[in-house]
Structure 1
Amino acid sequence: MKTELQHINFLYQTNSQKEYHISLSYQLFGKDLFSAPIILVNHALTGNSNVSGEKGWWKQLIGENQAIDTKKYTVLCFNIPGNGYDDFFIDEYSDFTPSDIANIFLKGLENLNIKNLYAIIGGSLGGGIGWEMLAKNPDLAEIFIPIACDSKTHDWLHAQCLVQQFLLNGNDEPLQKARIHAMLCYRTPQSLNERFQNKFNQEKQKLASEDWLNYHGKSLAERFSLKSYQLMNHLLMNINANEKDLNKITARMHLISVDRDLFFPSSEIKKCFENLKINKNKIFYHEIKSIHGHDAFLMEYEQLDKIIKNIL
């Protein structure tokens, strides 16, 4: 199947009553649309619709003979409007919430005449948007796999996003500074300490860990825009799927956490699982073991591969 960026254009009124001309871009991978079960993959904060292939950010999981096998499934991924991958940007990021993005994705499915999905899979922010979508349309998917995320933004995550917001609103290298702080949320003390062991770079006269953080700050600034990062951080700050509607979801749900996640702690995801389990029997909990924390969903492919293969 061709994987070029395609667009759906429509007028959308946000929950804040602002009207936008939305250019919703997406890519398709694997089998032709409507010739196989459809899996919707929602991307994370700095991700995009390019989930498979040579430059796919989740190519270790999505592709021929991978856990999400493109010889068996049609894989669809929308770009969150404003992520910049399609050169579409949003100036007033606070006009949008994850609920709006869920509405926009649902509108995209409607435009593509997709009434049902085999599965929705999303990591971090992408999983949060998945929760919001199913709260609005509980019969949409047969399977839901939220990874390293919860159905709402809890106080700890909100606080980290607030720090991000302060940094992003600064004048001196805001994107770089925000990314450096974010990396410390995506990883763990054990991960950094074990990797760098206080090694000192004599040439640069700084710790190797500091050099690594600076590299990540600069590299993101080269490929991502400040507007996009502000929007994504704002969305992450405001995940809030309606709790009453979560019990109406008919999909078989598989919640996957990371045991040392500092961003979406496994304890909160486990609590979400326990609360929903009271009224649902098609809900399961899985846990990735990793010292790398939140970013394990982009690193621990052997564990994730096994879990997802068993689910699908």
Structure 2
Amino acid sequence: MSDVFNIIESNPLQAILVGNDVELSYQVFGRPIATAPVVVVNHALTGNSNVSGKNGWWKSLIGEKEVIDTEKFTVICFNIPGNGFDGKVENSIDNYKEYSTTVIAALFWEGLEKIGVNQLFAVIGGSLGGGIAWEMGFLKPKAIQFIIPIATNYKATDWLIGNVLVQDQILNNSIRPIHDARLHAMLLYRTPHSLQTKFLAEEKEGLFQVESWLLHHGNKLEERFLLSSYKLMNHLLKTIGQSITENDLLAFAVETKAVIHQIAINSDYFFIPEENRKTHQKLKMLNDKIQYSEIDSIHGHDAFLIEYEQLNTILKPIFTIQTN
């Protein structure tokens, strides 16, 4: 590629004001804005904008010569306002129940417009990030070429809403709210088969290995995450598609110019694949560009962060494009 030297070598955290003076921070990876197709990556509940590079949480998917090749694409990832990644306590959000994924999607679109981006090659995200990808599509059905929601669905189910309530109660009532909520959440993100295969009911120094693993994850998140951030992110899950009816979904299927590629996980307890299949069948009746894939894994919801080979295989045909 003749202009590969234009790849962005450092990815500083940048910020702009959107909405009612909300600070929206973001990072750009790969080609500079306005020089290549744009891919927006939406992070999940405990994620952030650092998706690529040495410490990038999706570096197996995004980077030079990876499936989302930063030599060919401009990759933009916004931090959900209040996620704490900017380290500014003053940017925490206390009125978290006033926010929704629709509001976040609108802020992301405003942010994109302010940095000169009006059309997207793709928007992709897993779990909460995938829900926001759906919402971005609903807001601008003709502005995205590919919508790729992974391990999520267009609308929160009763099962998801119920678990959000349990998490919210823990976060508001526990002595160690982040730690204890994380223990519960990790059991939702994995499966009985996954944990049994990993730990084999083994015990060491008075604790079962599964107990040590859960306590480790609780401690780890407690060290790096703000309570206000966890409350907000957890709440956002139940707002996915809250204003979208089935008729709205079908109207979107007719109106959108995007190729929608749903990616589910066959063992997901959080966003169950049966619901994704139902959504796919409804959309497919009205739009022949709707695509559907399932990751085969014992690991449940977290498989979108584990089964990189399968995910890369599914995504490769989408991101194998010729650029000048």
Q: Which bin holds the TM-score, normalised by the shorter protein?
A: over 0.9
Give 1:112 deviation, angstroms. Answer: 1.1
8 Å contact kept, 1:120–1:145: yes
Distance 1:258 1:131 in 2: 17
Distance 1:182 1:171 in 2: 14
Match of 1:4 in 2: 12
Matched, 1:69 2:69: yes
Matched, 1:191 2:194: yes
RMSD after superposition: 1.0
Residue aligned with 1:169, SS: helix
8 Å contact kept, 2:174–2:180: no
The one of 249, 252, 258 equivalent to 1:251 is 258
Distance 2:44 2:252 in 1: 21
8 Å contact kept, 1:196–1:208: yes
8 Å contact kept, 1:132–1:242: no
Matched, 1:284 2:291: yes
1:112-171 deviation digits (Å, cap 9, x = unpaired):
121100000110000101111111110111011100000010011111111101111114
The residue identity in structure 2 corresponding to 1:306 is T
Give 1:227 deviation, angstroms. Answer: 0.4
The residue identity in structure 2 corresponding to 1:175 is I
What stretches of structure 2 of length at least 5 have no aligned partner?
A: 1-7, 320-324
Distance 1:45 1:257 in 2: 17
Distance 1:50 1:165 in 2: 26
Q: Could you state the TM-score of these two structures normalised by the residue count of structure 2?
A: 0.91
1:245-278 deviation digits (Å, cap 9, x = unpaired):
5322220111000000000001111111111111
Match of 1:226 in 2: 227
Distance 1:176 1:52 in 2: 27
Match of 2:171 in 1: 168
The one of 95, 99, 104 equivalent to 2:98 is 95
1:185-230 deviation digits (Å, cap 9, x = unpaired):
00000000111111001x2x11010010000001001011110000
Match of 2:5 in 1: none
Distance 1:171 1:158 in 2: 20
Distance 1:310 1:191 in 2: 29
8 Å contact kept, 1:61–1:305: yes
Match of 1:130 in 2: 133
Distance 2:287 2:218 in 1: 43
The residue identity in structure 1 corresponding to 2:163 is Q
Distance 1:170 1:249 in 2: 43
Moved over 4 A (4+): none
Match of 1:25 in 2: 25
Give 1:242 deviation, angstroms. Answer: 2.4
The residue identity in structure 2 corresponding to 1:129 is I
The one of 298, 309, 312 equivalent to 2:316 is 309
Give 1:61 deviation, angstroms. Answer: 0.4
Distance 2:93 2:21 in 1: 11
Residue aligned with 1:108, SS: helix
The residue identity in structure 2 corresponding to 1:231 is L
Distance 1:264 1:311 in 2: 23
Q: Could you state the TM-score of these two structures normalised by the residue count of structure 1?
A: 0.95
The residue identity in structure 1 corresponding to 2:159 is W
Give 1:21 deviation, angstroms. Answer: 1.9
8 Å contact kept, 2:168–2:234: yes
Match of 1:237 in 2: 238
Match of 2:301 in 1: 294
The residue identity in structure 2 corresponding to 1:273 is H
Distance 2:280 2:143 in 1: 20
Residue aligned with 1:237, SS: helix
Query: Residues 17-166 of structure 1: matches in 2 within 5 Å?
Result: 20-86=20-86, 87=88, 88-166=91-169
The residue identity in structure 2 corresponding to 1:206 is L
What stretches of structure 1 of length at least 5 have no aligned partner?
A: 13-19
